[in-house]
């Protein structure tokens, strides 16, 4: 029965497709006005960083930095300012250290 499931999904998912370039060209590209583009290019504000920290879920495995959400939240405004400074530096320099 396991082989039958394999066959079924092979038939459903492994289908030869062709892409019509003319159809792709007809799909409109979204446009962004200058004001929105400027807003998106701006350095994230301290308020945005504070909001993002508040939205991180607790009791989840930390990322590569090994910093749990609870630690960021417990650090309060001091941690938010510190993190904002790092984000601002990375944003402006367009460079992030590896370690």
Is the residue at 80 inside a domain? Answer: yes
Is the residue at 72 inside a domain? Answer: yes
> For each of the chain's 99 residues, which pLDDT tens digit applies?
889 999 999 988 888 888 889 999 999 998 999 999 999 999 999 999 999 999 999 999 999 889 999 999 999 999 999 999 999 999 999 887 776
Is the residue at 98 inside a domain? Answer: no
Provide the 8-state DSSP code for 60.
S
pTM of the predicted structure, to 2 decimals = 0.64
The first and second tokens of residue 44, run together, are 């994230």
**Among 45, 36, 35, 38, which residue's Cα sits nearest to residue 88?**
45
Is the residue at 52 inside a domain? Answer: yes
Domain that holds residue 33: 2-93
Is the residue at 99 inside a domain? Answer: no
Is the residue at 37 inside a domain? Answer: yes
How many folded domains does the chain comprise?
1
The first and second tokens of residue 92, run together, are 């402006």
Is the residue at 53 inside a domain? Answer: yes
Is the residue at 86 inside a domain? Answer: yes
């Amino acid at each position: 029965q396991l082989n039958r499931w394999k066959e079924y999904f092979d038939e459903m998912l492994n289908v030869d497709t062709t892409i019509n370039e003319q159809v792709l060209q007809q799909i409109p590209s979204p446009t962004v006005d200058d004001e929105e583009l400027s807003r998106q290019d701006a350095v994230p504000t301290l308020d945005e960083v504070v909001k993002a920290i508040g939205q991180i879920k607790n009791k989840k495995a930390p990322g590569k930095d090994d910093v749990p959400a609870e630690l960021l939240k417990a650090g309060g405004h001091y941690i938010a300012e510190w993190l904002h400074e790092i984000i601002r530096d990375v944003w402006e320099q367009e460079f992030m250290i590896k370690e």
